A and B are shown apart, each in its own frame.
Chain A
């Protein structure tokens, strides 16, 4: 269960640092610091007044239900896990699912390099955020230790952290000799290779993944054993089934996360790894395979996957996955808004057009994406408390008075001679009222902002 500020306060010094000039934690009181800690907005280390015992107790108390694990080192890192709740509305989810692409160790040099390049360069911009992939999973497809090590060595130059995939301890050892200092995720421990893999995880201080397909009892046993050996950074793969078996995969994922969050079962308090790439064991058609692989990814991401390994790299397959991740991992406690006011695009003069939109982040960035570099225009952004055009129209935040105030406050009337405001197509119902209230002429623009550049071109032609 989630830790409350009161639970934390009990273990703090409760002195409010009254004897010092200033509290080391930077808060007015221990209670305030406890609240910050419970919301994960402060670091425990800030309080300098703690005994070692209280510190350790607090550290355990504050540890997230799911252990936070870092793969990689330096600039090449990705952090996974860290979740506290089963449902995002209860708090928020932390550390977006790491999206990983596999690469086989038996590709030709050119194929290999090209694939690495594709992985590194995949990107998709949405709501002002550049969405990218997070890691590369090197797969010991050849079954050969030397090939695996060679391929691992080649990946030293990539910008992304690594997952090393082999069940063969020999191969793993060979690859770790090359890249073990980069803290790759060792995939995977099973019953057969447990001891050897465990030793390597300790020797190289790398996180390690447990693979126990459709057998949570075995998974618990292996995880428990690893913990007893002193391994702390564990990832769990309960098996990804892509046909009718997907129901079992889903059950396994949910059960593990429930055990971690609600029962604090120490053997399951670890991030989950899924492999939609397994789709391609059965599906050879490139399009059907891509659609199915994405579908499996969507299921597992919705139900707690912290790492997903893909085989397909088509952008049409990855865009929905990236978008879903962005949605699931937005913080429900924060309004998704941008600063209201006046924004400028391109080269402007006294005759430049003036557009209006709302300050909902999705709306603003969509509009921005449609006009940046494509039109020279002023954009007035109305404070609708972060609501979309039709939502704020229905809710009343988008109204004639607010628009008139915005025109006044931004001083746009000093910047342009025109007195024509172009509003979103969806806000047509208030166009008359805006005219009355502001004294400006109102032009109703297209419903979708992708039509804005064309709309402005037509206006120019007409005048």
Chain B
């Protein structure tokens, strides 16, 4: 390429040149350069004129927030009645608060177990080691010290391979927790599909009219028995499907056939932890909530997240110096998992670590505020103010 074409090429890409600093030997200035020069000079003039225009232009642009109308809404579910202070889930009529602020803050329920659970990760055991022998004490600590809105009592000890506790013993554990705290309860089984319906029924009876959430009904167990216990003793049911929206729909339909209504069901579409398929949960939960707002009656229930699944991830619990202390990694893993689910529409979170709970609740409470009603600090000088 000769000098001239090179220069022309350069000029083509240039949007702006300072003509007064432009130097060139006269004999190089061939005729063919002139049109290009003129074009560039013209462009510069236009652009500079545009600058004077900018203030005028700014006044003429208008902005309207993109708010949508949704034909459907999420059903409201009350948990806790009788001697419990009730909490409410659901009731959303829109996806985001700039469209319609959320009617209720997200709810956190702390995990408590009917046995001491030596397998819990250390950062959690640390907080509860003094109370792990007694589910009542454990529940009290979760509520008093860590601000739990609810408590989940997992009846792990009823597992045939764990302690094979009887339904009678399960009922006693429930009574102990009911006595100890006045927040609503989630009651979970051991995960044994044969025994869970029997245990949940005994627990439902022991907590009659207290409106607990029975966890859970799924297609692999006698969900009819769980539904009946809820109807007979006035409780709600957690409807659990494994990241499968069609399975969720089917199960909800079946449960409603057994006499439960939209206001008695909470869905658990399954929380895959951060790094362990969280994207599957993002997709399913987002689609479920959108379906509800579009009007799908079988999916209009509030949603729950087993956020504690996060602690199963090795990045949360495994000692590894190259990854830094688990004391921080663990809680972040749980908060990331919960938050991500919250942003997809989840209403209630089963969690373990006090710090994760605190952060999630803080952020969740902003959802009930309206757009631009919070006092925000002036951040316009952040570049120099940051240390």
Interface residues of A (CB under 8 A from B): 87-89, 102, 104, 124, 126, 139-143, 165-167, 190-191, 194-195, 198-199, 202-203, 205, 211, 213-214, 216-217, 220-222, 224-225, 228-230, 239-241, 243-248, 250-251, 254-255, 258-259, 262-263, 267, 275, 277-278, 280-282, 287, 290-292, 294-295, 298-299, 302-303, 311, 314-317, 319-320, 323-324, 326-328, 330, 332, 362, 366, 448, 450
Contact = CB atoms under 8 A, between A and B. Distances in A.
Given A221-B57, A229-B50, A295-B339, A280 B369 contact: no
5 contacts: A165-B383, A229-B54, A230-B15, A278-B379, A291-B331
A388 B385 CA distance: 48
B1 interface: no
A362 B58 contact: no
Contacts of A311: 386
A326 B277 CA distance: 10
- Scoring A104, A228, A247, A302 by chain B CB atoms within 10 A of each residue's CB, the highest score goes to A247
B63 interface: yes
B376 A241 contact: yes
Contacts of B162: none
Given A88-B279, A195-B51, A323-B275, A259 B66 contact: yes
B387 interface: yes
Contacts of A278: 379, 382, 386
A263 B67 CA distance: 11
Contacts of A275: 382
Contacts of A262: 66
B138 interface: no
B279 A320 contact: no
B386 A319 contact: no
A460 B275 CA distance: 33
A214 B377 CA distance: 11
Interface stretch (B25-33, B81-89, B315-323): B315-323
Interface residues of B, number: 68
B65 interface: yes
A287 B326 CA distance: 12
Contact of B314 (A124, A166, A299, A448): A448
B274 interface: yes
Q: Sorted from nearest, which 5 A-B pairs have the closest CB atoms?
A: A316-B324, A247-B366, A245-B376, A89-B283, A217-B63
A251 B333 CA distance: 24
B19 interface: no
Nearest to B313: A323
Interface in B306-364: 314-315, 318, 322-325, 328-329, 331-333, 335-336, 339-340, 343, 355, 359, 363
Contact of B359 (A255, A292, A323): A292
B379 A281 contact: yes
Contact of A220 (B14, B61, B279): B61
Contact of B53 (A140, A228, A291): A228
Contacts of A291: 328, 331-332, 335, 355, 359
B16 interface: yes
B279 A328 contact: yes
Given A203-B16, A220-B62, A316-B324, 18 more contacts: A87-B287, A89-B283, A142-B384, A217-B63, A224-B58, A263-B66, A281-B386, A295-B335, A295-B339, A302-B340, A315-B322, A315-B324, A323-B274, A323-B275, A324-B340, A327-B274, A327-B282, A330-B279
Interface string B254-282: 00000000000000000000111111001
A251 B279 contact: no
B10 to A, nearest CB: 12
A240 B379 CA distance: 8
A198 to B, nearest CB: 7
Contacts of B16: 199, 202-203
B24 interface: no
A204 B333 CA distance: 42
Interface in B179-212: none
Contacts of B369: 244, 247
B371 interface: yes
A244 B282 CA distance: 24
Contact of B47 (A142, A230, A290): A230
Nearest to A282: B377
A199 B58 CA distance: 17
A203 B15 contact: yes
Contacts of B223: none
B316 to A, nearest CB: 9
A121 B279 CA distance: 28
Given A229-B51, A295-B363, A248 B279 contact: no
A88 B282 contact: yes
Nearest to A241: B376
B323 A319 contact: yes
Nearest to A223: B61
A302 B359 CA distance: 16
- Scoring A143, A255, A292 by chain B CB atoms within 10 A of each residue's CB, the highest score goes to A255
Contacts of B290: 87
B66 A258 contact: yes
A366 B312 CA distance: 14
Contacts of A229: 47, 50-51, 54
Contacts of A448: 314
Given A220-B63, A278-B382, A320 B366 contact: no
A205 B343 contact: no
Contacts of A327: 274-275, 277-279, 282
B50 A228 contact: yes
Given A194-B54, A362-B277, A221 B61 contact: yes
Contact of A319 (B276, B329, B331): B329
Contacts of A298: 335-336, 339-340
Contacts of B322: 315
Nearest to B368: A247
Nearest to A366: B314
B98 A450 contact: no
Contacts of A294: 332, 336
A314 B332 CA distance: 13
